[in-house]
């Protein structure tokens, strides 16, 4: 996947196939590029899969929050001269996808939300961040998935590193609080783009009722549940996820 990694100016991003229709992937608060590996590999031949690395750990503190991140995404899309996107977001990335669509409806062909915040989400808990306790972080990371084995050592190590860095942990808390304050219940009825909701039935962070509420509030939605699956279906059930996504995208043409 590193062969697709690019840096231009302030932007670090993955881009697979310039010139093709764009799928813009937005990662979550603890998102790593590996979270989208199966989407990138399965769609790179037919689409230009683009993944901006959100500067949650780098942007000025006064700009940190959802509005600053949406402005960053807007700047990135303009920088890349992208006319239209299918925007897919997981967790916090789904929240950002909705805000981007509300501010830039002319740019959005379709929206795909999976385990998205924006209405309700369970945080890591009142004890977060619990620094220095690897086993605690391991269990918290495993709880994101229905099958705890999906939480690889590499993924747990990434979360542990973030939590144990004082400034990184502070940035996580600030961004998470910004998401909680930015509830979209009264706004998302204005989303006009076709929207696909792919949800893990056993998602404990944004439970199934959250998906059903999105389905109720966003006018043009299709809701698909994946059984025995948690908060990140694109990682835990990639074949099922990508099959649903492929059919949806083909129907938009």
Asked whether residue 32 carries a pLDDT value surpassing 80, the answer given is no
Structure token digits, residue 244:
């649903």
Calculate mean pLDDT across residues 14-29: 96
Residue found under tokens 């789904």:
94
Asked whether residue 143 carries a pLDDT value surpassing 50, the answer given is yes
Asked whether residue 123 carries a pLDDT value surpassing 80, the answer given is no
Calculate mean pLDDT across residues 145-171: 91
Look over the chain and give the mean of its residue pLDDT values, rounded to a whole number: 93
Calculate mean pLDDT across residues 54-73: 95
Counting Cα atoms < 13 Å in the Cβ hemisphere of 222 gives 14
CA-CA-CA-CA torsion sign (155, 69, 38, 238) = positive
Calculate mean pLDDT across residues 96-117: 98
Q: What is the pLDDT of residues 180-210, one digit of tens each?
A: 999 999 999 999 999 999 999 999 999 999 9
> Which own/partner contact pairs does 1-4 have at CB distance under 8 Å and 24+ positions apart?
1/33, 1/34, 1/37, 1/40, 4/40, 4/44
Asked whether residue 129 carries a pLDDT value surpassing 70, the answer given is no
Nearest Cα neighbor of 236 from 163, 143, 160 is 143
pTM of the model: 0.95
Calculate mean pLDDT across residues 157-185: 91
The DSSP bridge pattern shows strands 108-114 and 221-226 to be: unpaired
222, containing H or E segment: strand 221-226
**Window from 126-135, 154-163, 204-213 with minimum mean pLDDT:** 126-135
The residues, ordered by sequence, that sit 6+ positions from 2 with a Cβ below 8 Å of its Cβ are none
Residue found under tokens 């009264």:
186
Phi, psi of 125 (to 5 degrees): 115, 165
241, containing H or E segment: helix 238-251
Best CATH choice for the domain 2-121+183-251 from the list 3.40.1390.30, 3.90.550.10, 1.20.1440.230, 3.40.50.1820: 3.40.50.1820
Asked whether residue 125 carries a pLDDT value surpassing 80, the answer given is no
DSSP sequence for 121-150: ---S-TT-S-TT-HHHHHHHHHTTSSSGGG
Calculate mean pLDDT across residues 127-132: 58
Confidence of residue 114 (pLDDT cuts 50, 70, 90): very high
The domain ranges of the chain are 2-121+183-251
Calculate mean pLDDT across residues 75-83: 97
The number of beta carbons lying within 10 Å of the beta carbon of residue 166 is 10
Q: Is 226 helix (H, G, I), strand (E, B) or coil?
A: strand
Calculate mean pLDDT across residues 160-189: 92
Nearest Cα neighbor of 9 from 95, 99, 91, 72 is 72
């Amino acid at each position: 996947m590193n062969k697709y990694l690019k840096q231009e100016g302030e932007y670090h991003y993955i881009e697979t196939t310039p010139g093709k229709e764009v799928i813009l992937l937005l990662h979550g608060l603890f998102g790593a590029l590996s979270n989208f590996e199966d989407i990138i590999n399965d769609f790179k031949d037919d689409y230009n899969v683009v993944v901006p690395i959100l500067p949650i750990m780098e942007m000025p503190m006064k700009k940190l929050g959802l509005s600053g991140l949406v402005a960053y995404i807007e700047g990135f899309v303009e920088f890349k001269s992208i006319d239209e996107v299918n925007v897919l977001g997981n967790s916090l990335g789904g929240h950002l996808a909705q805000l981007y669509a509300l501010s830039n409806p002319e740019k959005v062909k379709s929206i795909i939300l999976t385990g998205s915040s924006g209405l309700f989400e369970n945080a890591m808990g009142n004890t977060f961040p619990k620094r220095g306790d690897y086993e605690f972080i391991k269990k918290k990371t495993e709880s994101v998935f229905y099958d705890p084995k999906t939480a690889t050592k590499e993924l747990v190590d990434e979360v542990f590193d973030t939590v144990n860095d004082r400034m990184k942990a502070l940035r996580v808390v600030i961004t998470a609080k910004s998401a909680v304050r930015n509830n979209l219940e009264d706004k998302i009825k204005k989303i006009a783009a076709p929207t696909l909701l792919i949800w893990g039935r056993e998602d404990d962070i944004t439970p199934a009722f959250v998906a059903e509420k999105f389905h109720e509030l966003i006018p043009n939605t299709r809701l698909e549940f994946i059984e025995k699956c948690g908060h990140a279906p694109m990682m835990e059930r990639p074949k099922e996820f990508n099959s649903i996504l492929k059919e949806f995208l083909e129907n938009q043409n």
